[in-house]
Structure 1
Amino acid sequence: MAAGFELALDAQCALGESPLWSVAEEVLRFVDIKGRRIHRFDPASSEHASTQLPEEVGCIGLSDDGGLVAGLRSGIWLLDGDGHAVRKLADNPEDQRTSRFNDGAVDPAGRFIVGTLDETREWGDAGLYRFDERGLVRIDGGLITSNGTAFSPDGRRLYHSDTFRHVLYVRDYDPATGEATNRRVFARFGSETDRGRPDGGAIDADGCYWTALYEGGRVQRYAPDGRLIAEYPVPARCPTMVAFGGRDLRTLYCTSARAGRPEAELAEYPLSGALFAMRVDVAGLARPLFHPPG
């Protein structure tokens, strides 16, 4: 069925990210990190609205109170359904002058697994964290750009990439405790002629991992054993993240970026920063809901 990505919404995002489908509302939310906005898009009516935030928002998750959990530069926040701040849940423990929260996802038990980005791209100070009623716990460190967080259908595998190092990892995961162990390489990317590297990802019902390749102009699908089984071009040089949506969860949405891209690239890909969509044969999974402490 997958014929390729087509324009869904010309959102003109500087750095579109974190597409998130709400099964209950049948709408897609996504963020513009550099634009400091959370977008809400209803594909049935084409209604589109956005909320301005006071700082960069790296990722969002659905909360069981009807709002959102979000990773911002300053920390992890609980927001209302429109994206307005309700309360801060945890501080960003890193140096906020050069670090912000980036990609994240809610685990099957309602915890928020979220990573940071080292904006210096030199120190490797970024980390991957788990947040629940026990507080914020560091799972991994020594990263440059934490990205690609996703869980296998049974919740026993945690996928996570370090985009700047062109590597995608997988770990054993215990949904009962939130413990992540045995990190190993799932796939490597990039070459002298191909700068495509793993950005945001999502898992389908068959347990296959889909990843957007930043500066690679395409989305790839990997089997659970790490084999590349398909790839699809995107009408942007820098796709950023994918998410399954639609009533049957068989529409794959993809955000993209345009900030800082060369003029020649934007002339070739004028839809950079848009939201794209593609129908697929295998459905995705409904995203778990975050359980706010207290």
Structure 2
Amino acid sequence: MSDFTCVIDNRAKLGECPRWDEINQRLYWVDILAPALHCFSPSTGEHQTLSVAEHIGCFSLADDGGFVAGMRSGIWLLNALGEQVKKLADNPEDQAHSRFNDGRCDRQGRFWAGTLDEPKAGNNAHLYRLDARGLAAVDAGLLTSNGLAFSPDQRWIYHSDTPAFVIYRHPYDADSGAVGTREEWVRFKPTANDRGRPDGAAVDSEGYYWSTLYEGGRVVRISPDGEIVETYRLPVLCPTMCAFGGTDMRTLYVTSASQGRPATELTQYPQSGGVFAMRVEVAGLIEPRFRGDGV
């Protein structure tokens, strides 16, 4: 039985990166493989689709009313219509096989984004930080950089390598943006009946990390000590990322995927690719916006 209800049944190929706009009370998210930004107003039910020019893996809202986005070719500023207006950094990897995948801003307004190695032929993906000094790699040796989040006390940065079934954390200096040596924080153990692995994530106001398990059909809440303390089921097998929203930041939204899934799975889970919501007891955190100071 599912803990979630479907709020947008739009059959996204690869829905990702839900972001709550607390000013306008709207939910944004992307479809990476049918490149678009989506916008949904829970109060009116209005759903808008903004087509974008290339694969868009992640984004954050920007102070100027637009967006900063990690795309295939690099990191871009987009206007409110989703149009590319300024390239902030090139994707330094082979763009034929790599794109930006998961990312968000920290409280200082810096944009962090990781890449994905599409052939999964080697550990060629990285995690990057963009600030006034430019784009800098802060971690390497990944297949798919995912699950990026910051602890509320700004002591830790979390991210996952989805195909490796592992979530890492690094010590983090919020003032400088410096990142320490990563340590393995949580490792999932796949079985024949459960290939759930850590995809996108969010952190709540108590410092617990909520991880969506792709091919696991669930979201887990993980304590700061790395213990799974709660599990919530979805009516799809492939959730991709979660975000807190609503007037009180106590609605958890989750995106999902349908592309490349077996026909039997799509028959069993016909809402695959939809956006789901669930009320939760603990509030989330307002998502920081991109400042772009000096970038």
Same fold (TM over 0.5): yes
Provide the C-alpha distance between the structure 2 equivalents of 1:29 and 1:137, rounded to a whole number of angstroms: 27
Q: SS of the counterpart of 2:172?
A: strand
Whichever residue aligns with residue 198 of structure 1, its letter is P
Counterpart CA distance in 1 for 2:117 and 2:132 is: 26
Partner of 1:178: 177
User: Matches of residues 195-206 of structure 1 in structure 2 within 5 Å?
Assistant: 195-206=195-206
1:60 alignment partner in structure 2: 59
Quote the Cα distance in structure 1 between the aligned partners of 2:267 and 2:189. 24
* Residues 68-93 of structure 1, C-alpha deviations (whole Å, 9 max, x = no match): 11000000000112311111100000
- Secondary structure of 1:93's aligned partner: coil
3-state SS, counterpart of residue 174 of structure 1 = coil
CA distance in 2, matches of 1:221, 1:171: 19
2:31 counterpart residue number: 32
State the partner residue of 1:249: 249
Question: Residue type of the partner of 1:217?
Answer: G
**Structure 1 counterpart SS, 2:170:** strand
Structure 1 partner of 2:271: 271
Structure 1 distance, partners of 2:41, 2:156, is 31
2:53 and 2:83 in contact (8 A); partners too: no
Listed as ranges, the matches of 1:18-97 within 5 Å are 18-97=17-96
Classify the secondary structure of the residue corresponding to 1:181.
Answer: coil
Across the aligned residues of Structure 1 and Structure 2, the Cα RMSD in angstroms comes to 0.9
Separation of aligned partners in 2, 1:226 and 1:123: 27
Stretches of structure 1 lacking an aligned partner (at least 5 in a row):
none
> Deviations 1:157-198 (Å, cap 9, x if unpaired)?
101000011100011111100011131111011322220000
Moved over 6 A (4+): none
TM-score normalized with structure 2 length: 0.97
Cα deviation, residue 66, structure 1: 1.3
Deviation of 1:155 after TM superposition, in Å, equals 1.6
Identity %, equivalent residues: 53
Q: Deviation at 1:97?
A: 0.3
- Taking the aligned partners of 1:51 and 1:134, their CA distance within structure 2 comes to 31
Q: CA deviation at 1:284?
A: 0.1
Please name the residue that 2:7 is paired with. 8
Q: Distance in 1 between matches of 2:155 and 2:47?
A: 36
Please give the alpha-carbon distance, in whole angstroms, between the structure 2 residues aligned to 1:293 and 1:120: 35
- What is the distance in 1 between the residues matched to 2:81 and 2:269? 31
| Matched AA of 2:36 | R
- The structural deviation recorded for 1:235 is 0.8
Residues 79-114 of structure 1: CA deviation (Å, up to 9, x unaligned): 112311111100000000000000001011110010
- Number of aligned pairs? 292
Q: Following the alignment from structure 2 to structure 1, what is the Cα–Cα distance between the partners of residues 65 and 73?
A: 22
How many Å apart are 1:292 and its aligned residue?
1.4
Task: Within 5 Å, give how 1:103-118 maps onto structure 2.
Answer: 103-118=102-117
CA distance in 2: counterparts of 1:68 and 1:173, whole angstroms = 25
Counterpart in the other structure of 2:234: 234
Normalised to the residue count of structure 1, the TM-score between the two structures is 0.98
Q: Deviations over 1:34-72 (max 9, x none)?
A: 010100000110100111112100001011111111000
Measured in 2, the distance between the counterparts of 1:156 and 1:116 equals 23
